[in-house]
Structure 1
Amino acid sequence: MTIRALILAAAALVAPALSAQEGPRFGLQAGLNIPQSDLKDAVDSKVGFTVGAQATFDLRGGHMIRHRLDYTWFPEYSWGWGGYSTSHKFSNISLGADYLYFVEGKPQGFYVTGGLALVQWKAELSSSYLGASASASETTTKLGLAAGVGYQFNKTVGADVRYLKSSAWEGDLDMIQVGATFCF
């Protein structure tokens, strides 16, 4: 992806927020991640965790833009046999924006969402054999896509389920994210 394409994507994400009638509402989110596709094998089907921050802009008429910064990690996956052992750890940091459409036309109740993000994946590998050890890590940044549904209970608390599609290292690192949002 070129620098020009990144600048255009950033402008497209920021422009609607600048036209919002009132200032942003800031908040936090937390969630569980259920690995799918190639990620399921890479983390031995272990459930991961997400924490993050958000800024939400109400564009009126049931339309919102939610900028997100998320950190996701999965528990270490270890295995071994006959004096040999290895462990894998996967994590990512993502920066992106979601479009939310509230069915009732106001920022409360049921909504559908779709989003784009830049996702920086990190894989860490450590191995040992009869006392000798080695470790390596690798990072890559890819585009991520998200789609889901949610429910905003009141101005402060909401919940959503999203399918996150991303790739790295010639594999699909997809996950289902179940989360809660808290605005203040």
Structure 2
Amino acid sequence: MKLLAFSTLILCAASLSAADFTGGVQLGPAFPLGDMKSLADGNAGAQLVLFGRWDLGGGHAIRARLDGTSAKGTPGSFDTPFGKVANSARVEATASLGTLGADYLYHFDGTPDHGVYAGGGLAYGNNHVELGLPTTAGRAVRGSESVGALAYGLYAGYQFNPHWSVELTYRASTFKKDLTFGDSTGTFKYSMPAVALVAGYTF
């Protein structure tokens, strides 16, 4: 079994080394959903992606990516491990998701240089939440936590030419952990999905 796994890795590495490699960057507005939207008070955020792509031929490609999605808001109320908080102090809350992973992409025209493409992938996700809880004295107790969890993505885009593209992305991750804010401790469970429309440039 170990020999088979090692052989598979060798074959994958050989395939990627023989494939055409390109790199690039993507940037655009992000629109949080679910709990991420609640934390950001429905405000739009931004998504930045750095990627490397291996063209395997026949429209198939593998893309490695490092990206971050973040949104910031001033919610009037939101759910916490300690119940729903009416935040009259308008304390800011920030939610972000950073991922490092790999995607499979299929280009319907058979080439990554132009045309429609779609795909999906898995990643390690770093979920970060920062918020303030108002106290009876009117002061805010700030708390933040970064939690690692599995993340996934779905993609559909259009390549205008070898350099420029536009892509609709969906990223999501869910985490659950015991967190402490001030003197209180509770189980913190959040889903962190977001849709983004990013423009891409391939070098």
Q: Aligned partners of 1:73, 1:110: CA distance in 2, in Å?
A: 27
SS at match of 1:106: coil
Kindly report which structure 2 residues correspond to 1:57-68, keeping only aligned pairs within 5 A, or say none. Answer: 57-68=54-65
Give the Cα separation in 2 of the matches to 1:15 and 1:165: 30
Deviation digits for residues 72-99 of structure 1, max 9, x if unmatched? 2112325443xx4432111122101111
Matched residue, 2:30? 33
Question: What's the counterpart of residue 179 of structure 1?
Answer: 198
Identity of aligned residues (%): 30
| Structure 2 Cα separation of the partners of residues 51 and 18 of structure 1 | 30
Matched, 1:19 2:15: yes
Match of 2:132 among 126, 134, 137: 126
The residue that corresponds to 2:80 in the other structure is: none
Q: Mark the runs of 5 or more structure 1 residues left unpaired by the alignment.
A: 1-7
Provide the residue aligned with 2:98 in structure 1: 93
Is 1:145 aligned to residue 152 of structure 2? yes
Residue in structure 2 matching 1:164, options 159, 167, 171:
171
Q: 1:178 deviation in Å?
A: 1.2
What is the rounded CA distance, in whole Å, between the counterparts of 2:158 and 2:60 in structure 1?
14
8 A Cα contact 1:165 1:173, kept in partner: yes
Give the structure-1-normalised TM-score. 0.82
Between the two proteins, the alignment pairs up a number of residues equal to 172
TM-score (norm 2): 0.75
Looking at structure 1, the residues matched to 14 and 166 of structure 2 have their Cα atoms a distance apart, in angstroms, of 25
Contact 2:24 2:202 in 1 (8 A): yes
Distance 1:151 1:90 in 2: 29
Q: Letter of the aligned partner of 1:19 in structure 2?
A: S
Contact map agreement 1:28 1:181 (CA 8 A) in 2: yes
User: Once the 2 structures are TM-superposed, how far is the Cα of residue 111 of structure 1 from its aligned partner?
Assistant: 0.6
Report the counterpart of residue 181 of structure 2 in structure 1: none
**Preserved contact between residue 70 and residue 94 of structure 1 (Cα < 8 Å):** yes
CA separation in 2, counterparts of 1:49 and 1:91? Answer: 10
Q: CA RMSD in A?
A: 2.4
Please say which of residues 33-42 and 155-164 is displaced more in the overlay: 33-42
AA aligned opposite 1:24: F
Which runs of no fewer than 5 residues in structure 2 stay unpaired? 77-86, 177-188
Correspondent of 1:111 among 117, 120, 138: 117
The runs of at least 4 aligned residues of structure 1 exceeding 6 Å deviation read: none
Secondary structure of the equivalent of 1:40?
helix
